[in-house]
Amino acid sequence: MNILEAILNAQGGGAVNELGRQFGLDGNQTRSALDALLPSLAGALSQNARSPGGLEDLLGALAGGQHSRYLDDPGSLGRAETTLDGNAILGHIFGSKEVSREVAARAAGQTGIGADILKKMLPIVAAMVMGGLARQTSAGGAGAGPSAGFGPGSGAGAGGGGLLDMLSPMLDQNRNGSPLDDILGMAASFLGRR
């Protein structure tokens, strides 16, 4: 299951419905917003996880952060602490508020939803992404310790259903089978506008 499916299916769609309700969006608009925001989040998380010590940091955050509550309890998405946690996640993976603003502006251009709404939605979506990854961690680690499903040969980056595999489908925006050109395009866009 990829991260979009994990979010869409959480609580029978309840998490996505709550997200849309918070921002006055219908189901199609909410799905469109997720489709536009998730590739940038997935790309940044994947890039961070592949940096030295990055995967260990991500696993530590997932193990100690109780992020699965964001998908298990849709009502938690409207709490101030969810936005604070989401902003901390964004600060870690994007490194600056400028990148977050750029992601929201790009998503606005793709969806027709106002950039101000998407900018407010972004931290909550980041928290939901961490919730989906936390669920994957606990599912992969059942009975085998907190890091099961992530070591060498586990599929964490090798196509075996691990953590990074959950992010990969969101990275291949043009569906050509290779996310590399899309990641490079995102990076060039961010760097070109700074």
91 pLDDT more than 60: yes
Dist. CA 100–CA 118, nearest whole Å: 10
Higher pLDDT, 114 or 148: 114
Count of domains observed in the chain: 1
- Return the pLDDT at 168: 61
Dist. CA 190–CA 194, nearest whole Å: 7
What average pLDDT does this structure show over 4-31?
93
Give tens-digit pLDDT for 23-76. Answer: 999 999 999 999 999 999 988 888 888 888 887 888 788 777 788 899 999 999
pTM: 0.75
Dist. CA 130–CA 106, nearest whole Å: 22
What average pLDDT does this structure show over 99-128?
95
Structural domain boundaries, residue 179:
3-192
